[in-house]
Amino acid sequence: MESSRRTIPLPPAYGQFLGQSSNRRQTSHSGSVRSRRTEHSYTLTSSKNVPWVKLAVISRALSPSHLPSFFEGEDVTGSLSLMLDREESIKSISVSIIGQMTTSATDVYSFLLISQDLWTKAMGDPSPTAQSSSSKFSGKLRGDYSWPFSFTIPAHVTLANQSGTQETWRIPPSFSERLTRVHIQYQLICHLRRGKFRIDSKIGTVFAFIPIIKPTPFSDVRKLAYVNNSTLPGPDLDPIGWERLPTFRLRGQIFKARAVETRYTLWLAKPLAYTRGSVLPCTVHIECSDVQALDLLASPEAMDIRLRRHISMGLADVSSISARAPAYGIEFEETTEEIKSAVWWPTRHGTTYRALDGEIHLPRELKPSCCIGRFRLSYTIDVYPLKAVAFIPDSEDARPLASQVVDMVTAYAPGPRPRVYCPSPPSYDDASSILPPS
C-alpha cells in the first residue's frame, strides 16, 4: 500500500552554485512604505464642556486612535486652534517637543527640548482680519485663531557626560515595556501662558519616534544571490560575507561508553547589523572522528544558538538640559531576555564533518539597538554547547560558549532585501521594517 507520508524538502544549502534557483517564492514589496497621513485631535473644554483649544497633529499612524508616530527625518506637523466665545487674556502660545528618560515616578531626565513660539503679544494682533502691525498687542483674544507648526527631530543630540565634556548621541527610539525600569518617551506640548494670577493651560500628547538605522551593504556575492533568487553563498564562496566565531572543542561521552571530541565553528552573515522583521543567516561546521557521535551532534535539534537582548542602565549626567540631572547615576542590574533561537537544516557532509545552515527570524516589533548616556539596549548572538541524545558533556556549565554583539536596525541596506530560506512562523513579516529615503 502506498504510504501517505509526505516528504518535505529541506531548504537549500548556503554555498551551493549561485545559478541554482530556489523553488521558494520570494515576495516582492514596494521600495518604500506607503505614506500615511492620519490626523490626531486633542481638545481642552470649558466648564460647559465646550471645546476652546484644539491641537491637531498629522502622522503616519494607522488610525487616529493610535499614538502619533514619526520616523527620523519626518516633520512633526500640526496646528493649534482657539475657539473663544468670550475674551481671554493670553500672553503667549508656544509648542515644544520634549524627549525624556524616566527611571521611576519622580526621576525624569530630559535629553531633548526644541520649542517654537506660535504667538506672543509682541507679534501683534493675531486676528485674521487685523492689518499687519509691528506694535505690541495689548488687548484680549476672542474668536477663532489657528497657528500651524512644523518640527524636525534631529538625528543626534549633544549632552554633558560625567566629566563635564560634551558627547554626541543618536536620538533613541521610544521605549516603554511593563517589566523594564527605564522608559524613553517623546511628548508634543502646547503651552498657553496667561497673565498674573491666572493658571496657564497645556495640551499635548505622547508620540512614538523611530530612528532610521540601516546596515552597510551586503557583499556583492550575497546581493547577486538575492537578485537571482538563488541560494545564499556560504563562507567557502563568499569569505568576506561571513563573520567566523572561534572554534570550540567539546568533549564528552557517547552512550556512556566512549569518549569523543567535537570541533564546532559558527559563522554569522555580515554585516553584523540586521533589519528587524527580516532574517539573520548563520551556518555551522561540526567535525568529529566518531561517525555515530557526529550524526547525533550534528542534528538540527542539537544546535542551540540564540538571539538575546540586554538592557543596562545608569543615569549619570545624561542631560545638559535638565537642572535636575543627578551628580551620580544609579546603576541598575543588567536584564537579559531570550528573543529567538535559530532554526537549522542539514546541508553538506563528509566522512568526519557535517554542515548545517540556519537562520534566526527577527520579530518586527524588536526595538533597535541604542545607547544614550549610560542607557544601553543591545543584542548578542549566544553560542551554547551542543545538546544531543546519548551525549554527556564533560562540563555541565550552562553558560554560553561565546557571545557576539550584533546590531538591530530599522531599515534595509541598499540593494536587494534578505530572503527567507527556511519556513518561518506565521507571524513573520519581512516587509515590517522601513526603507530609508534615498
Decide: pTM greater than 0.75. Answer: yes
> By CB neighbour count within 10 A (0-12 exposed, 13-18 middle, 19+ buried), where does 354 fall?
buried
List domains and CATH numbers for the chain.
38-210 (2.60.40.640), 220-409 (2.60.40)
State yes or no: pLDDT of 258 exceeds 60: yes
Over range 325-332, report the average pLDDT: 44
What pLDDT digit, counting tens, does each position of 57-102 carry? 999 999 999 999 999 999 999 999 999 999 889 999 999 999 999 8
Q: Torsion over CA of 428, 230, 221 and 430, rounded to 10 degrees?
A: -10
* Of the candidate ranges 9-23, 81-95, 268-282, 408-422, the one whose mean pLDDT is the lowest: 9-23
**Going by DSSP bridges, is the β-strand pair 166-170/201-210 parallel, antiparallel, or unpaired?**
unpaired
| CB 160, CB 166: distance < 8 Å | yes
What's the pLDDT at 277? 95
Q: Backbone phi, then psi, for 122, in 5-degree steps? A: -65, -20
> By CB neighbour count within 10 A (0-12 exposed, 13-18 middle, 19+ buried), where does 289 fall?
exposed
Over range 328-348, report the average pLDDT: 80
Residues 6+ apart with CB under 8 A from 418: 226, 275, 278, 279, 281, 412, 430
**Going by DSSP bridges, is the β-strand pair 69-71/201-210 parallel, antiparallel, or unpaired?**
parallel
Split at pLDDT 50, 70, 90, the class of 317 is very low
What's the pLDDT at 314? 55
State yes or no: pLDDT of 11 exceeds 80: no
Q: Considering only CA atoms, which of 9, 105, 5, 16 is closest in space to residue 283?
A: 16
Task: Kindly report the number of other CB atoms within 10 A of residue 358's CB atom.
Answer: 23
Helices (H) and strands (E) in the chain, counts: 2, 24
Range of 23-27, 125-129, 131-135, 333-337 with top mean pLDDT: 333-337
% of the chain with per-residue pLDDT over 90: 61
**Going by DSSP bridges, is the β-strand pair 201-210/370-372 parallel, antiparallel, or unpaired?**
unpaired
